[in-house]
């Protein structure tokens, strides 16, 4: 820490795919970048996905090379488990940011990620990286392909029993670590804070949270991922393998009643992808997708949609009114069948809610001297969307990825490319 650098060309806030891409682009132009990630690993949401549409590449396989390239790049410094607390603009190409680094209670350079600490830890809590499908210990390696792949102690849940300390072959456990807040200087800032997932608990008529066999699409991603919590697809209520699944599209999107009138842009496609993967994993299962409009608009997407239809995925144009649970854990969906104009009821043994994506507006409070403007949906406002899509209302602050609106991975890559170019042009003015 003695030689710690306190000044960088760019601060990239958020280490998901957009933040990594931006950081790498800038680093390859020889700019020094500090990448700050709130979670314990970089990789964002993408690293937790199963496969990606429409290529069906395994998400981990294609994202981990980018993650490790980011982690290895000599021009990029990464703070995980850290938060940007305040950004003040002092002048052009002169920003000051306070950054809080939460302790891992594990020495980063000593831990080898061997996980010997995990079995001895007596505390079990829900695993947020598996979207609560299973438990984890209070000392844990976040997930198998995390970067850095080292342990951390969830101090709020830790019983301070010291078992991990005794089990660690590398003497890496260190309860004496403290939070550390410091001020750093930057010439530019890129906001790549991504999105939040809609929490379907806000729609009681679907019964999520009450009915055990309703899960969110992100939970299904985990069930399908190579680093999945169970070794197969099962319904959480009783561990039975489902054979008649339903997808409810537009859960929390295009819906004024939950305050989100816009389309989330990705749910149609990820649901179609999951349906295809489920047909592979559970060859006997039926999968039905209840939709209003199928929005397979990107390169190769419509063809992917046609493939799903060809595989036998059922598409029903219908609006789900209410879901209720039967004694055997099956679910009854009451819906408006748009093709016949009738209200129908149908039984499924597992329901996946295709949850929408929402603005992650916490970044707003970080900007102190000048307020960062949002659009009508609380996304970071692009003030010249057609000509400078990464520009925000603050000169020198740029936006990348889903922080500016719902988007899929390729669009995030393009958006990160814009942020990199625009930031580089801004930085070039000093020279």
The nearest distance, CB 130 to other proteins, in angstroms, is 17
Nearer to other proteins, 251 or 296 (CB): 296
Kindly tell me which of 99 and 289 has the beta carbon lying closer to other proteins.
289
Strands (E), 273-313: 286-291
Residues 255-283: b if buried by 16+ CB within 10 A, e if exposed: eeebebebbbbbbbbbbbbbbbbbbeebe
Q: Kindly tell me which of 22 and 193 has the beta carbon lying closer to other proteins.
A: 22
As measured in angstroms, the least distance from the Cβ of 47 to other proteins is 13
Q: How far is the CB of 341 from other proteins (least distance, A)?
A: 5
What are the CA-CA distances from residue 167 to residues 9, 121, 171 (Å)?
Answer: 42, 9, 9
Distance, CA of 348 to CA of 13 (rounded, Å): 42
CB closer to other proteins, 214 vs 320: 320
Judge contact between 43 and 129, C-beta under 8 A. no
Residue 386 within binding range of other proteins, rule CB under 8 A: yes
180, 181, 306, 347: which one contacts other proteins (CB under 8 A)?
A: 306
Per CB under 8 A, does 413 bind other proteins? Answer: yes
Kindly state the smallest distance separating residue 71's Cβ from other proteins, in Å: 11
Residue 317 is a binding residue for other proteins (CB under 8 A): yes
Chain-centre distance of CA 15, in angstroms? 10
User: Among 138, 278, 390, 403, which residue interacts with other proteins (rule: CB under 8 A)?
Assistant: 390
Instruction: Answer yes or no whether residue 110 interacts with other proteins by CB under 8 A.
Output: yes
Binding-site member from 87, 97, 214, 262 for other proteins (CB under 8 A):
262
Residue in the block written with tokens 């660690």? 168
Kindly tell me which of 274 and 330 has the beta carbon lying closer to other proteins.
Answer: 274
Q: Near other proteins by CB under 8 A, which window of 117-125, 194-202, 321-329, 403-411?
A: 403-411
CA distance 253 to 202: 12
Told to check if 261 binds other proteins by CB under 8 A, we report yes
CB of 397 to other proteins, least distance (A): 16
Helices (H), 297-408: 301-311
- Indicate whether 105 belongs to the interface with other proteins (CB under 8 A): no
Could you tell me which stretch among 36-44, 49-57, 125-133, 202-210 binds other proteins (CB under 8 A)?
49-57
Contacts to other proteins from residues 160-219, by CB under 8 A: 169-170
* Residue 395 in contact with other proteins, rule: CB under 8 A: no
- By beta-carbon proximity to other proteins, the closer residue of 68 and 183 is 68
Tokens of 105: 């209670």
Instruction: Tell me: does residue 230 bind other proteins (CB under 8 A).
Output: no
Other Cβ atoms within 10 Å of 367 Cβ, number: 23
Residue from 303, 345, 362, 395 in contact with other proteins (CB under 8 A): 303
SS3 at position 119: helix
In terms of CB distance, is 121 or 331 closer to other proteins?
A: 121
- Interface with other proteins includes 258 (CB under 8 A)? no
- Classified as helix, coil or strand, 174 is coil
Number of residues engaging other proteins in binding (CB under 8 A):
77
Nearest-angstrom CA–CA distance, 324 and 319: 15
Tell the smallest beta-carbon distance from residue 418 to other proteins (Å): 4
Can you tell me which of 142, 237, 242, 405 binds other proteins, judged by CB under 8 A?
Answer: 405
- DSSP letter string over 321-337? EEEEE-TTS-EEEEEEE
| Residue 124 vs 429, nearer CB to other proteins | 429
Query: Binder to other proteins among 389, 392, 396, 403 (CB under 8 A)?
Result: 389
Q: What does each C-alpha distance from 346 to 190, 269, 320 come to in angstroms?
A: 47, 24, 11
Burial of 96 (0-12, 13-18, 19+ CB in 10 A): middle
Instruction: State the minimum distance, in angstroms, from the CB of residue 379 to other proteins.
Output: 8
Nearer to other proteins by C-beta: 69 or 325?
Answer: 69
Q: What share of the chain is helix, strand, coil (3-state, %, to 5)?
A: 25, 30, 45
Stretch that binds other proteins, among 158-166, 282-290, 326-334, 380-388 (CB under 8 A): 380-388
CA distances from 426 to 187, 362, 382, 421, 423 (A): 9, 25, 16, 9, 5
Cβ-based neighbours of 134, under 8 Å, separated by 6 or more: 126, 127, 229, 230
Contact 382, 390 (CB under 8 A): yes
- Does 75 engage in binding with other proteins (CB under 8 A)? no
279-298: contacts with other proteins (CB under 8 A): 293-298
């Amino acid at each position: 820490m003695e030689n710690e650098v306190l000044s960088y060309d760019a601060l990239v806030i958020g280490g998901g795919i957009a933040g990594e891409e931006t950081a790498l682009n800038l680093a390859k132009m020889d700019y020094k970048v500090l990448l700050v990630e709130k979670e314990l690993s970089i990789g964002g949401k993408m690293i937790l996905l199963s496969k990606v549409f429409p290529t069906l590449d395994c998400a981990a396989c294609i994202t981990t090379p980018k993650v490790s390239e980011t982690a290895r790049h000599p021009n990029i410094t990464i703070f995980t488990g850290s938060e940007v607390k305040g950004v003040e603009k002092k002048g052009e190409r002169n920003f000051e940011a306070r950054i809080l680094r939460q302790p891992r209670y594990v020495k980063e350079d000593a831990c080898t990620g061997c996980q010997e600490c995990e079995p001895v830890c007596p505390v079990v809590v829900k695993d947020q990286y598996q979207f609560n499908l299973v438990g984890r210990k209070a000392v844990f390696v976040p997930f198998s392909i995390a970067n850095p792949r080292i342990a951390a102690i969830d101090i709020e849940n830790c019983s301070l029993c010291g078992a991990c300390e005794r089990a660690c072959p590398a003497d890496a456990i260190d309860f004496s670590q403290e939070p550390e807040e410091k001020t750093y200087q930057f010439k530019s800032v890129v906001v790549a804070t991504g999105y939040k997932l809609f929490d379907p608990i806000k729609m009681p008529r679907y019964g999520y949270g009450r009915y055990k066999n309703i899960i969110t699409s992100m939970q299904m991603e985990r069930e399908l991922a190579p680093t999945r919590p169970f070794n197969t697809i099962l319904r959480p209520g009783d561990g039975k393998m489902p054979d008649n699944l339903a997808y409810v599209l537009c859960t929390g999107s295009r819906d004024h009643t939950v305050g989100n009138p816009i389309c989330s842009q990705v749910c149609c496609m990820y649901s179609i992808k999951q349906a295809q993967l489920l047909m592979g994993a559970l060859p006997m299962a039926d999968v039905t997708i209840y939709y209003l409009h199928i929005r397979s608009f990107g390169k190769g997407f419509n063809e992917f949609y046609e493939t799903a239809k060809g595989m036998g995925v059922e598409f029903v144009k219908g609006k789900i009114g209410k879901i209720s649970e039967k004694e055997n854990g099956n679910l009854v969906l009451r819906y408006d069948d748009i093709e016949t104009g009738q209200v129908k009821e149908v039984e499924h043994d597992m329901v996946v809610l295709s949850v929408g994506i929402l603005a992650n507006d916490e970044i707003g409070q970080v900007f102190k001297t000048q307020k960062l403007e949002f659009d009508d949906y609380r996304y970071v406002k692009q003030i010249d969307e057609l000509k400078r899509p990464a520009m925000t209302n603050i000169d020198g602050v740029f936006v990348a990825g889903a922080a500016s609106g719902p988007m899929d991975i390729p669009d995030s890559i393009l958006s990160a490319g814009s942020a990199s170019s625009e930031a580089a042009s801004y930085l070039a003015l000093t020279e």
